[in-house]
Amino acid sequence: MLKIASPLVAFVAMVAAVPLPGAEAKAAEKKPFSARDLVLMERVSDPRVSPDGRFVAYQVRRTDLETNKGVNGLWLLDLKTPGAAPRMLSAPGVDANTPRWSPDAKAVYFLSSRTGSSQVWRLALDGGEAQPVTQLPLDVGSFMVSPDGRRLAVTLEVFPDAATLGETKKRLDEKAKPKASGLLFDKLFVRHWDTWANGTRAQLFTLPLDPVGAATGEPVLVSRGIDGDVPSKPFGDDSEYAFSPDGKTLYLNARIAGKAEAWSTNFDIYAAAADGSGAPRNLTADNPAWDGYPLASPDGRKLYYLAMKRAGFEADRFGIMELDLASGKKREVAPDWDRSAAALKISADGRTLYTNADDLGQNRLFAIDVASGKTKALTDQGNVGGFSLSADGIVYARSTLNAPADLFRSATTEGAKPTQLTQQNAVALASITFGDYEQFSFKGAKDETVYGYVMKPAGYLAGKKYPVAFLIHGGPQGSFGNEFHYRWNPQIYAGAGYAVVFIDFHGSTGYGQKFTDAVSGDWGGAPLEDLKKGWAFALEKFNFLDANRAAALGASYGGYMIAWIAGNWTEPWKCLVCHDGVFDTRLGTYSTDELWFDEWEMGGTQWEKPDLYERHNPLNHVAKWKTPMLVVQGALDYRVGAEHAIGIFTALQRRGIPSQFLYFPDENHWVLKPQNSLQWHETVLTWLNRWTTPAPAK
């Protein structure tokens, strides 16, 4: 049960302490990092500083290998007591996630499925057990407490024509009963990410909260009349809606569905009465591109949000916009800052906005002066995975290539030295040896500077040459930067005795929008040139790389690139690994879920621009394939469907090329289940070892 006794003995009553920052953990014999180590790492995220600045609540995901799943728990750290140890609020094994503070800082609200469905709970810090706030017939997807503490916003998936939540629940139960299994559709998004459409939509509701924080009455629909998901699917959360400071208005973003949802990126921001009265009002109808992630100013007069300029382009730059709610006047806050912002937070005086963004192989925190648009970086190395403001600074989660995420605190001044607050994996890390890494740059395609990283194997010995794992990131508008990744982690290969090289080719994020734009319409062009030049540069600069024992691996766009490399850059590679990669760009645009992506990347639909779809189509180069390849695919991947992997494997087998096919019936575009992750890594490393290990001397 979730329970604490009193403010004075709270930390004694809570359980599962971790060592203090700087505390010595008993060190076992050092060992290379393994896939099992990766799977069992505790994953820190979502820090939330209390309104009074005393505590930070955050989320930690632990892995239960027996049940083959991750279990989230809530943790609390006293920021005002020097040397205080983080403590676990939730009992081990009890699912609890998404910590959010009450406005008076006396309680933590959170989501938990401890009673069988996902509901909002509340834990008072003055003692007692956690109490249910909602007991609704449907799962709560996300929630938010109003600034005055009088209202709770929740998102629920409902049938738009259902009169009550109970009616939605009844219809879902009926659908689950054995009967004819056919599904009839009359518009696209028949499937999205890893789920087939069932007719429901995520919608925003509110409920009044009584003086003790419990929800009362029936939920009222706030997003009334909006034919779209609030928040968006598949990854939308509470950053897509926000209360006004007085709690009377909710701002939300939505993309209207209709027939065009599958090829539209036109999100708009709406203002709606928090009590459900009246129809939502569109505030950004003038922009046909993406507007989202609203945030009201502390005085309620301005609304800040993120906006793209080009309709249909999901990787356009997110600029920061300011809307004067009285006059309707809009302006871009930092038009000269050539980075794409993430969700915003604002200082108490309303003068400074905070966000994080990819930047030269890092993901940094930035402070933006609202008046002038002047931007300054608050962090240097590493990847910021979430942050929260306090009166005296900022608390954030940060990881690097050799450290899983922990919490740090820093002043909001440029160059301020951060203080590490947690060492969540201190005991596990004490016995692990990581590979050292280094960022480098070179002249790539278009004679432009391109960045990459090299990582030495764990236990590196000078003068020795090592086999190489050459990793290619997805997106293509993405980055393999200074981050501790839980699927494609270079330290796994370093731990297995490989040197690792990974390049942020043209199309990668964090190097300016022009650099990101460069991949569109040129999937097999400039990016491949960057990879070739980056490989040549790395071989010349780092003498521990063995050019004769190298393997290339990639997923998603990286998987596409592996299929493209198979027919267009065969010389260096002893073997290849293609995970969820596009085999036929023509088929890809007709079988994927989000059509806007292919239609932007290829300059139009396939019937309008057939030559552009053929220009860099891996299928057309199968005759030149000769390199052994491992193909990996998840059955629930509707972004790049299984037909691509089967096609690749068929081509390899028919040409007599050594190949294997690893198929996961229960995974999507990613491999998420712990045991599947272990199998994935074992299979991939076995494949690499098979082709990069020198033959024994005769």
Pull the structure tokens for residue 630.
């491992």
The answer to whether 314 and 365 are in contact (CB under 8 A) is no
Beta-strand runs (E) in 362-446: 362-369, 375-377, 383-390, 393-400, 403-410, 419-420, 432-433, 437-443
Q: How far apart are CA 27 and CA 444, in angstroms?
A: 43
Query: 125-148 burial, b if ≥16 CB within 10 A, otherwise e?
Result: beeeebeebbebebebbbbbbbbe
The three-state secondary structure class of 178 is coil
Query: Is residue 142 flagged as an active site residue?
Result: no
Active-site residue identified among 579, 669, 677, 681: 669
Q: Which residue has the tokens 């024992």?
A: 549
Active-site residue identified among 46, 358, 406, 637: 637
Residues constituting the chain: 698
Looking at residue 270, its amino acid is Y
Could you tell me which of 448, 447, 452 has the C-alpha nearest to residue 470?
452
Pull the structure tokens for residue 351.
């003068």
Q: Which helix (H) or strand (E) holds 634?
A: strand 629-634
DSSP 445: G
Q: Which residue has the tokens 């590196």?
A: 460
Query: Is residue 34 flagged as an active site residue?
Result: no
Query: Is residue 669 flagged as an active site residue?
Result: yes
Active-site residue identified among 142, 239, 479, 556: 556
Query: Hey, CA dihedral for 369, 375, 378, 384, is it positive or negative?
Result: positive
Q: How far apart are CA 496 and CA 467, in angstroms?
A: 10
How far CA 448 is from CA of 410, 443, 515, 557, in Å, comes to 34, 5, 9, 22
Strand partners, 192: 195
- The C-alpha torsion from 34 through 40 and 44 to 46, rounded to 10°, is 120
Which residues are catalytically annotated? 556, 637, 669
